[in-house]
Amino acid sequence: MSDAIHPSAVVDPRARLDRDVRIGAFSVIGAEVVLEAGVEIGHHVVLEGRVALGANVKVSHGSVLGGAPQDLKYKEGTPSGVRVGAGTVIREYVTVHRSTKPEGSTVIGRDCLVMGLSHVAHDCHLADGVIVINYAGITGHCEIGERATVGGLTGMVPFTRIGAYAYVGGMAKLTADVPPYVLVDGQPATARAINVIGLRRAGMSAVDRRTLQDAFRILYRSGLAPARAVERIREELPAAEPVRRLVDFIAGATRHGIVGPFRGEAAEPEEVTG
């Protein structure tokens, strides 16, 4: 056994381990697991079923990946799994359950950070660069767009979506889709503003940020229904890529629709130029 694999770890000989893989004490690696180069597995980790971890993924102590879904419709023995993209970090005591669908996968993208004691349920899809903060509960069939952030203790109902670069405040209750670039908070969560700080950090131009703020005001401050607001956005604002992405997301909203407007006195972040 390699010095990089603790002697107390239980590694099925059929598991596929690339070079430089490290596995901590008392961890269990199942027969269908695939670990690419540079993967680091902490102590007391369990990887079961079809778990595939990309290069340099880190899984911290006590996490369980590939466990059976918590879904009464799931049939034991369904061939499904979990896929995690390169460079992602999964912290302590996180649970990620495998798909309910034959040959399906629960997917976490590249360079994500899933913080301690969070849960990612069956059939979810987290795009690249997503951050999930401690104790968040991502229920089945949810989708989270790239570089979105989900606050601690947040709960999502099944089949909801969070758009790219959105920000969900801590302890939020998500019962509807969160459009891209939008900051939401509350129980139930409502739209507060465009995530200006996150977009600035991501390198989006000031012009595009201001255009998104104009789109937000039409969507959430005009009193129009979402479908009519989308029409007005298309009529009045430049057809920049972020705006197209926003309206396409709204047009494709799930059975839950999109989060509603905040009814209080929300202070919208001011755009800083220069």
**Catalytic one of 97, 122, 125, 141:** 122
For the question of residue 128 being annotated catalytic, the response is no
For the question of residue 111 being annotated catalytic, the response is no
For the question of residue 185 being annotated catalytic, the response is no
**Catalytic one of 66, 85, 87, 123:** 123
**Catalytic one of 30, 38, 140, 145:** 140
- What is the Cα–Cα distance from 172 to 183, expressed in whole angstroms? 11
Pull the structure tokens for residue 152. Answer: 């601690």
Active site residues: 122-123, 140
